[in-house]
Copies of this chain bind each other. A is one copy, B any other.
């Protein structure tokens, strides 16, 4: 594994990450303590947090947020503006008013199996597994496991 992406781009913050061969990371990105497999691409305005593992040949598109606890297999497509959530009931503070720290909440892991697609603007809630090759539609809120090969649509708005 390499310590830098294969390309250069301005305005990247990359700290303690491991990259496979040929990984391309766009500008305006904030990556730390994560691992990205060979040939994967990461778009601009993305944050990838500590402990995230992304497989080979993935595309992570712009404006996406991948939080700690997320494991992404090979060949996964993550669209633009996708947000992963790892906390069921986040709070800023504890009942005593102190700011919550890392020990004050339970991290809910998320697994995205190989070749799945997550459409733009989708929200993936903590604790779910998205099965191999599943297709999550743009804007879907995924709150339960998705079987391999399944298709989930977002809810299109209706004309009034």
Chain A contacts to B: CB under 8 angstroms: 10-11, 13, 26-28, 30, 39, 41, 43-45, 47, 57-59, 62-63, 65, 67, 74-77, 79-81, 83, 85, 89-93, 97-100, 115, 117, 119-121, 123, 125, 135-144, 146, 150-160
State the CA gap A65–B136 with chains docked (Å). Answer: 19
Copies in the complex: 3
- Give chain B residues whose Cβ lies under 8 Å from the Cβ of A75: 91-93, 97
Q: Are B92 and A59 in contact (CB under 8 A)?
A: yes
State the CA gap A91–B135 with chains docked (Å). Answer: 9
Instruction: With A65-B62, A81-B81 as known contacts, state yes or no: A157 contacts B159, CB within 8 Å.
Output: no
- Give chain B residues whose Cβ lies under 8 Å from the Cβ of A157: 136-137, 139-142, 152-155
Q: Are A80 and B65 in contact (CB under 8 A)?
A: yes
A65 to chain B, nearest CB (A): 5
A-B interface, 10 closest residue pairs, ranked by CB to CB distance from nearest: A140-B157, A143-B156, A75-B93, A77-B92, A139-B141, A59-B92, A123-B139, A121-B123, A65-B80, A83-B120
Other-chain contact of A65, B63, B83, B90, B139 (Cβ < 8 Å): B63
A90 to chain B, nearest CB (A): 5
- Give chain B residues whose Cβ lies under 8 Å from the Cβ of A158: 152-153, 155
Q: Are B154 and A99 in contact (CB under 8 A)?
A: no
Q: Are B85 and A90 in contact (CB under 8 A)?
A: no
State the CA gap A71–B116 with chains docked (Å). Answer: 30
A156 to chain B, nearest CB (A): 4
Instruction: With A92-B58, A151-B160, A157-B137 as known contacts, state yes or no: A120 contacts B117, CB within 8 Å.
Output: no
